[in-house]
Amino acid sequence: MTRIAELARKIPDIAINTAEKAVRTKSRDYFFWSPILKAQLDHVTADAVVSPKNESEIMRTLAACWELDIPVTPRGGGTGNYGQAMPLAGGIVLDMMSLNRVRSIDAGTVVVEPGARLSAIEDLTRPSQGLELRMYPSTVETASVGGFIAGGSGGVGSIRWGMLREPGNILNLRVVTMEETPRCVDLTGDAIDAAAHAFGANGVITEVTLPLAPTYDWVEMLVSYPAWSQALEAGWTVTHHEGLWLKELAAVEAPAPYQYFARYREFLESGDNVLCILAAPNAVAPLSNKLKRQGGRIAYQSDQLSDTDRKGLTRLHHLTWNHTTLQARRVDPEITYLQVGVPVDRPLETLDGISKQFPGEIIGHVEFVRASGRVYASSLPLLHYQNAERLLEISLWLEAAGCTCYNPHSYRLEEGMHSDVDPVQLQMKKDHDPKGLLNPGKMIAWEDAEYRFDPAVHRPFPGLQKAKS
């Protein structure tokens, strides 16, 4: 009897799918955005998909997998793009999307199960409470809240509320351990950091408590500038004006807006460098005045169009964050991207310098955010990919220029975070997953507690599933 057959015998009332097509679908995320990850992981597949309906079924599944030494990879909406939801060592994918209840909305907070789609949460909080999520990824319509916390760092709303792991942005995480007798553990305060952005490698999230913010009928704006440096300067200046209530502010370098934002092309010209903005209605007038004085042209403003005229347009957040790359790839599938932290003391000079150093190869995309009370320009530039050697060459040049490259072309947690061993995350994995069965391969520290990050060296997972010849 195979391990999966034995698992099915132990949990006969919990849904298990072994159909090849269904299993392969659930074994993939958006890893293929990276040509490097596509080459490394395209063959990866689970042995089965298990779909629990509640916390009790999760605990029973984990207990059975512990006994049978079956690896477990938790999966939400599958919108991540680092391979974080992919079962590198086989085993089962734990599909969390049936745990999708909004349990309570009260006192400016919402308590939800991990499979709840972020847009579905707002569909309840907006009309009933006049409140919305502080932040969400550009994939808000399909992403789950558990997946966002396990794999995300920030998103639409980070210009106001900071990054996801900022104190107060997650109020409670309930996780289940991978042990002989699984436990439920509630994490609050600093303890949340160990499980947030850990890819589900040190606990399976079963409940999330998030704060809410006042909702607005956000006005969508595209503001164009003839020069990339002008767009950067305008975005940087506006972000520092805290009296202007913004939900989103991104800058995208020409020719990307005209070439790739197809549904908005009628509002744009080929040489436009564009700010993509979500602004509260009361911020629009002073914001427009400020941007016009800085040489901007209001190319598009949603409240100036009728519903008929807006028909066929996407929501503006679909031009920002990871969706900027998605829009580009729809036109040119060879495009990939980078994630770059720029020096806080000279962000605009650095960003403009990157575009000048790699003309035609790198196209600027910047998300203006707050973190720990400071304004940052977080760069997610589009890249015309050539080969892995050239990608490394570019990354090392950026590092030498004072940038930090958070590698989106690695499935390894530490490589993606540009970090050495995180002792807190590692200790939680030791405490919660002593056999190392949760999402194996994602945490280098589990294999080497003395690991030191080197941007020029990739540490492949020794247990990576072998491709079939």
pLDDT confidence of 467, banded at 50, 70, 90?
A: confident
Residues 260 and 386 in one domain: yes
Residues 293 and 347 in one domain: yes
pLDDT in tens, 1-35: 699 999 999 999 999 999 999 999 999 999 999 99
Separation CA 61–CA 437 (nearest Å): 13
Per-residue pLDDT for 469 more than 70? no
Per-residue pLDDT for 176 more than 70? yes
pLDDT of residue 308: 87
The share of the chain scoring above pLDDT 70, in percent, equals 100
Q: What is the mean pLDDT of residues 94-120?
A: 97
Q: What is the mean pLDDT of residues 105-117?
A: 96
Report the CATH number that the domain containing residue 455 is assigned in CATH.
3.30.465.10
Domain end point (choices 405, 426, 456): 405
pLDDT of residue 180: 98
Domain end point (choices 354, 373, 405): 405
Domain end point (choices 405, 438, 461): 405
CB 227 within 8 Å of CB 296: no
Residue 350 is assigned to a structural domain of this protein:
yes
Q: What is the mean pLDDT of residues 407-430?
A: 96
CB 380 within 8 Å of CB 339: yes
Residue 351 is assigned to a structural domain of this protein:
yes
Per-residue pLDDT for 64 more than 70? yes
Residues 432 and 452 in one domain: yes
pLDDT of residue 206: 98
Residues 365 and 430 in one domain: no
Residues 32 and 106 in one domain: yes
Residue 223 is assigned to a structural domain of this protein:
yes
The domain of 52 spans 1-215+415-469
Report the CATH number that the domain containing residue 264 is assigned in CATH.
3.40.462.40
Residue 410 is assigned to a structural domain of this protein:
no
At 4, list the tokens.
């999966």
pLDDT confidence of 311, banded at 50, 70, 90?
A: confident
Residues 184 and 242 in one domain: no
Residue 433 is assigned to a structural domain of this protein:
yes
| Number of structural domains the chain divides into | 2
Separation CA 430–CA 434 (nearest Å): 5
Q: What is the mean pLDDT of residues 127-134?
A: 95
Q: What is the mean pLDDT of the chain?
A: 96
pLDDT confidence of 310, banded at 50, 70, 90?
A: confident
Residues 117 and 264 in one domain: no
Residue 288 is assigned to a structural domain of this protein:
yes
Residue 42 is assigned to a structural domain of this protein:
yes
Per-residue pLDDT for 468 more than 80? no
Predicted model pTM: 0.96
Residue 138 is assigned to a structural domain of this protein:
yes
Residues 354 and 232 in one domain: yes
Q: Enumerate the β-bridge partners of residue 144.
A: 117
Residues 85 and 194 in one domain: yes
pLDDT in tens, 286-309: 999 999 999 999 999 999 998 888
Render 402-464 in DSSP notation, one character per residue: T-EE--TT---HHHHHT-S--HHHHHHHHHH-TT--BSTTS-HHHH-TT----TT-----TTP
pLDDT in tens, 326-345: 999 999 999 999 999 999 99
Render 355-392 in DSSP notation, one character per residue: HHHSTTTEE-EEEEEEETTEEEEEE--EEE---HHHHH
Residue at 388: amino acid letter: A
Residues 332 and 258 in one domain: yes
Residues 346 and 226 in one domain: yes
Angle between helices 228-239 and 347-357 (to 10 degrees): 160
Q: What is the mean pLDDT of residues 245-264?
A: 98
Residues 227 and 369 in one domain: yes
